[in-house]
Amino acid sequence: MNDGGGAQQRPLRVAVLGCGVVGSQVVRLVLDQAGDLAARVGRPVELAGVAVRRIDAAREIEVPDGLLTTDAAGLVAREDVDLVVEVIGGIEPARTLILSALEHGASVVSANKALLAEDGPTLFEMAAKAGRDIFYEAAVAGAIPILRPLSESLAGDRVTRVLGIVNGTTNYILDKMDTSGAGFAEALAEAQDLGYAEADPTADVEGFDAAAKAAILASLAFHSRVTAADVHREGISEVTAADIASAREMGCVVKLLAICELRTGLVGPDGTEDLDGGEAVAVRVHPAMIPLSHPLAGVRGAYNAVFVESDAAGELMFYGPGAGGAPTASAVMGDLVTAARNHVAGTRGAGESAYADRAVLPMGETRTRYHVAIDVDDRAGVLATVALAFAEHGVSIQTVRQEGRDDDAQLVVVSHWATDAQLSATVEHLRGLEIVREVTSVMRVEGGDE
C-alpha cells in the first residue's frame, strides 16, 4: 500500500463492513474515542466508510454523512483504506471481501467465527503473503480476552486442555432449566422473548456456533489446524428436565461445553493408548454434567467462561459477557488498536501458528464418561445383566442406583472413563436387551481426573 507523501502524519483510515448490532458499536467507538485512539496508536484514526446492505435502514447510531455505502467491494479496494473491520458474518461475501482487503494492503479485524473455523488457513496465508495482519479476538466469547492469551501470553507454555461455555443462549436456557425446573421448550421461549435467542435458534441450540468457536480455540491452543468439520457436535434440544434433576442429585449441573484436549498417545478402538504414537487433538461440543465444585458450574445466565489448563501456569479462568454489541465491539477495538500500531511501526503480528500439525482424533477414540438412565423390568438378575453389558465392552461402572419399584423401575449408571466408541456400543447393547424397556437418557460426565 502506498501512503504517499507525509505518510507519518496522514490519519489511518478504517473501513467497517456491517453496521448491525456490533458494527454500529464499532463505528460509535471509533468516533467517540478518536482522541484516545490517536494517543494509543500514534496517528489519528478515522472512518473511511461503512458498508451496509441498505443506506436507508434504521440504525442504533447516526453515521456521519458520506460514510455509508452499499459498495463493500469498492470500499475494501480503496488505496486510502489502511484497516478493514469485518462484522457482517457468514462465509460469503465476507471471505472475498477480506481477501481483497489484504490483497490491496489493508490489515483486517474480524469477528467472523464461522469463516475462520471453515477457511482460516486461506485468510492467514493471504495475510502472510500481503505482509498484513488479521486479528479475530471478537470471534470467540465476545469481550472476554481469550485468543490473545492463548496465542501470546501462553506462547511459552504447553496448553493441555481448554474447556469452555462459549454460547450465551444455551447457557441461559440450561441455567433456566436448572433454577426453575422449566423444560427445554419453555426455557427457549423465554430466551427468545428476552432477546438472548434468535427466532431461528438452530445455530445456538444445536451447537454449530460453539463448534466453530471450539475449532478456533483448539487451533490456537495446540498449534494445529482444526476446522469446524473436525469438531464433534451435539446440541441441547434433547436435554430434559429429568436430566437436569438427575445431575442435581449427583451434585452436578448440565452445561453445553466446548472441550479441546491434547491427547498423549493415540487411542485405539480397544481403548488402549499407544504411548509411542505421539500427540493428537480431540475437539467436541456437547451437553455434559460437571460437578458443582468446578469453576464453570457457577457460570450463570448468558455469560461465557473459558477454563484453560497448561503445564506451567496450571488452571486459568476467563469470564465475562460472551455476546452483545458493546462487549463484542470492545474486543474488535482491542484488535484494531494492535493492527493500527503495527501499521504505524511497519511491522505485523506473528500470524498463524500451525507448526505442530497434530492429527484430530475421531469422537469414538475420545475418552469420556457416561451417565445412562435405563427403564428396566423390576425382576431378579436385571442389575447383573446390565453390568455384564458394560463389562463386555470394556467399560467399568463407577456408580449405579435403582429408582422406583414395580413397573417404574429405573437404573441410573455412571461409568468410569472409556472411549466414546466403547460407551456408545454399550448403550446400543443395552437397547437390545429384553429386560430393557428404554434407555431414557445418555449424557457425558466431565470433571475429575481419569
Active-site residue list: 213
Element (H, E) at 441: strand 436-445
Residues with Cβ within 8 Å of residue 371, at least 6 apart in sequence: 246, 247, 250, 289, 412, 413, 414, 441, 442, 443, 444, 445
Cell, residue 116: 475462520
Contact of 191 with 169, CB cutoff 8 Å? yes
Distance of CA 77 to the CA centre of its chain: 31
Q: What is the DSSP letter of 251?
A: T
* Strands 367-376 vs 418-419: parallel, antiparallel or unpaired: antiparallel
Sign of the dihedral through C-alpha 156, 120, 215, 428: negative
CA distance 303 to 170: 10
Cα–Cα separations (whole angstroms), residue 363 to 66, 233, 326, 356: 52, 10, 36, 20
Contact of 100 with 106, CB cutoff 8 Å? no
- The torsion region of residue 105 among left (phi > 0), alpha (psi -120 to 50) and beta comes to left
